[in-house]
Amino acid sequence: MEPILEVQNLEVKFHTLDGVVNAVNGVSYSVEAGKTLGIVGESGCGKSVSVLSIMRLIPDPPGKIAGGKILYLGNNLLEYDETSMEHIRGAAISMVFQDPMTSLNPVLTIGKQIGEAMMFHHGFTRDQAERRTIELLNLVGIPNPEQRIKEYPHQFSGGMRQRAMIAMALSCTPDILIADEPTTALDVTIQAQIVDLTRRLQDELGMAVIWITHDLGVIAELADRMVVMYAGYIVEEADVFQLYENPLHPYTLSLLKSLPRVDSSRAGERLATIPGFPPDGITVLPGCPLAPRCRFAVERCMQENPHLEQFVADHNVACWVDVTTGKER
Amino acid sequence: MVETTESDVIKLQEQFKAEALTPGQLVRMRFARHKMAVLGLIVLLLLIIYSFGGAFFYTETEANFTDTKIRLSAPSAEHPFGTDTVGRDIMIRTIYGGQISILIGLSAVVVEVIVGVLIGAIAGYYGGWIDSLLMRFTEAMFNIPQLFLLLVMAKFFGGKVPNLNFLGREFSGSVVVIIVIIGITSWMYLARIVRANFLSLKEREFVLAAHTTGTSNASIIFQHILPNSIAPIVVSATLGVANAIISEAYISFLGLGVQPPTATWGNMLEGAYNYIETAPWLWIFPGSLIVLTVLSINFVGDGLRDALDPHALVDAG
């Protein structure tokens, strides 16, 4: 099946006072209609920057998309002008953010905020937009929507606001929904509701979802394909089952290990952590960016940065070491 | 056991939920706690009733009717506020002069708000060289003393604008000139407030979220960010009305403002300084009306500042 969105060799740099930050370094991924792509990684590894580039919403200056292509239905979005992008945003690709507390405008009613995109993209009248907004709020499971559209964000709870954000993102039935850590600011029960809701809506509407998270537990339920990012590179890419059953990159292994488990036999033990911090992206070392934090690191890791290669069928990994044997490939 | 789904429970609770206060109600409640502001508002309303309601009892012709035989007569039953240097009734003139003064105050602020908000919003939102350019211009305007700018502009444009009809009254062209020049010499402070607000608000996540739904820059500026900075704009505009009334008073006092026979509180003071002791009613009445109006507006502005501050506590009791 043809991918609906294809990111090819995307490079994003931020020109800061401290130097040039290489936020995204030649990243490629794609997603098909009706499928979910999960992107995981630590904070600051380029997940959000790569999806904001898809929307062309990198703050410029200081950010700059330095190279690559973003193909939506075969058209390169990086060649679009601002006006054409406005017709893409919300209508073709829309986005849900991490913190529903801050991503709704505090002085506008929920109804107005959701209805606005439909009035812009579909030329709806105020009445049509309001009727559709009520339908949407019903769809995302907000009770009493006729009343609720007249309320302000502070009258909504966190979970309700995230539902409202999802309703807003879905208002113009986009082909692609980008969810940037949409459950991070919510508590666990609400997280589960939002995940269920997204899956249900995806089945009903057939859109592609790009779900960014650092929580491997949440994404396991949703994703079809997974991308693991580190320091602006994709270090591993595989089918979701493959990734969880045979992780091939030391970083993925560490992430999985640092996941708390209910059924753990290691009860009472401390949770595994990854020592150190991710690199700042300014100082570029010749080797693999993970090497200083990697327990599998060999001599070569310090000198050469590995490329993404396919070792197992449909499973790409960027590592000089075979983690199953612990030896250099 | 009765089966209830989660949404049923929520619906049930929604029915018993106390109706939340709208932002408007909160503002009114907080404003009402500010005693001086309420008093100011009442006085202001009375002044408006006085100058606009008075027009039903006296015509403008009466306000401009001169009778030199009774010039400089002291307040009496027939002329409650006395008469001026050419025998016009001062009370009727304060009624018609009040209309002009209040209209100038309000209209000049409309000009001020339009210019100030536009410049401040564009500078704050776009940043970069646009911001630098607009802010240097604002600073340049700041550096010219407003009084001199007003006087020069009043002198320059005076008499070049024809009279016009509005609300069934003939307005001297000088009124329009005064409104515009007060407006365009007083927007700088507001522009800075708006810019500062936009600088912080544009970084908020809801602005990014609005971008992701395809909202255009213009719509983000005016429909998403501007409503968030409405409180300082309202406060500043309210106080701006008081300043505009004073500005009008002093240009008119110097004889460069609204030209007689059209009365304003300001130009009624013109010439009164020759009679400060001999005919105090010439300046006491228009002067006190100016002071009263400006003071009331300032109290209302203070009250609004507190009422519109979202961080202020609500004490409903």
Interface test with chain A among B4, B202, B212, by most A beta carbons within 10 Å: B212
**Smallest Cα–Cα separation from A322: which of A240, A242, A253?**
A253
Q: What is the DSSP letter of A264?
A: -
Q: What is the DSSP letter of A268?
A: T
> Is A90–B212 a contact, with Cβ atoms under 8 angstroms apart?
yes
- Helices B173-184 and B90-126 sit at what angle, rounded to 10 degrees? 40
| Pair A31, A3: CB distance under 8 Å | yes
Confidence tier at B315 by pLDDT (50, 70, 90): very low
The pLDDT score that the predictor gives to residue B46 is 93
- The alpha carbon of residue B124 is apart from the nearest alpha carbon of chain A, in Å, by 15
> Is B23–A151 a contact, with Cβ atoms under 8 angstroms apart?
no
The pLDDT score that the predictor gives to residue B317 is 34
Q: Is A171 part of the contact surface with chain B (CB cutoff 8 Å)?
A: yes
**What confidence tens digit (pLDDT) does each residue in B194-217 have?**
999 999 998 888 998 888 888 888
Backbone angle region of A179, left / alpha / beta, with phi > 0 → left and psi within -120 to 50 → alpha? beta
Structure tokens at A19: 């130097």
Compute and round to an integer the Cα radius of gyration of chain B.
Answer: 25
**What confidence tens digit (pLDDT) does each residue in B100-158 have?**
888 889 999 999 999 999 999 999 999 889 999 999 999 998 888 888 888 888 888 87
3-state per-residue secondary structure call for A114-169? HHHHHHHHCCCCHHHHHHHHHHHHHHCCCCCHHHHCCCCHHHCCHHHHHHHHHHHH
Count Cβ atoms below 10 Å from residue B170 Cβ, excluding itself: 10
Q: pTM of whole model > 0.90?
A: no
Confidence tier at A122 by pLDDT (50, 70, 90): confident
Give the residue carrying structure tokens 């995204």.
A24
If you average pLDDT over residues A129-155, what whole number do you get?
87
The pLDDT score that the predictor gives to residue B110 is 94
> Is A57–B214 a contact, with Cβ atoms under 8 angstroms apart?
no
> Is A90–B215 a contact, with Cβ atoms under 8 angstroms apart?
yes
Give residues with Cβ within 8 angstroms of A35, minimum separation 6: A208, A209, A224, A225
**Smallest Cα–Cα separation from A89: which of A174, A6, A209?**
A174
| Pair B212, A55: CB distance under 8 Å | yes
| Pair A204, A138: CB distance under 8 Å | no
A152-156, B83-87, B296-300: least confidently modelled range: B83-87
* pLDDT surpassing 70 at residue B245: yes
**What confidence tens digit (pLDDT) does each residue in B169-195 have?**
667 777 888 888 889 888 999 999 999
Nearest neighbour of B214 by CB, restricted to A97, A120, A147: A120
pLDDT, mean over chain A: 85
**Smallest Cα–Cα separation from A216: which of A244, A236, A238?**
A244
The pLDDT score that the predictor gives to residue B295 is 93
Cα–Cα distance, A210 to A37 (Å, whole number)? 5
Alpha helices in B127-264 (DSSP H): 128-143, 146-157, 173-184, 188-201, 205-212, 217-219, 230-253
Q: Is A58 part of the contact surface with chain B (CB cutoff 8 Å)?
A: no
Nearest neighbour of A102 by CB, restricted to B205, B210, B212: B205
